[in-house]
Structure 1
Amino acid sequence: MKARVHVTLKTGVLDPQGEAVRHSLGALGFEGVGEVRIGKVIELEVAETDRAAAEARVREMCEKLLANTVIENYAVEIA
């Protein structure tokens, strides 16, 4: 099964990369852009054939490695 994990910074955590992108967009003439937050998408191929087992396994991966749960949120999609 394929899994996709969306990792984003939690609300209230400063995002200097997002701020740099927001500033650069303004400098390029793209007015009216508010807050910009940068995240990441991780795509995985997992061996599980059961959807619930695959999601549980990917969530375990997120808790142990893929996301820093102190400052990041994550969402798992199983396809």
Structure 2
Amino acid sequence: MTDMTDADAKAICAALGVNTRTITDTFGRTLTVIDEEGMRILAAHSPNPARGQALTDQIMAAAREQYGL
């Protein structure tokens, strides 16, 4: 597989109905972000949906712990 561009990622998200947001972080970098619902949609369409959902669970648990959510 070749490297995916930001435009490629946004096109996949749009095709699956995943909303994206573009933000600028505190270091001045421009990032494309998605919410938990979007992560779960992408995981469900991945080659290994169970693994994708498990990884999403881990990411969300770490974020909740780090940021007290």
Fold equivalence (TM over 0.5): no
Compare the two structures and name the one with the higher strand fraction.
Answer: 1
Instruction: From the CA coordinates, give the structure whose radius of gyration is larger.
Output: 1
Q: Which structure is higher in RCO with an 8 Å CA cutoff and minimum separation 6? A: 1
TM normalised by structure 1 equals 0.27
TM normalised by structure 2 equals 0.30
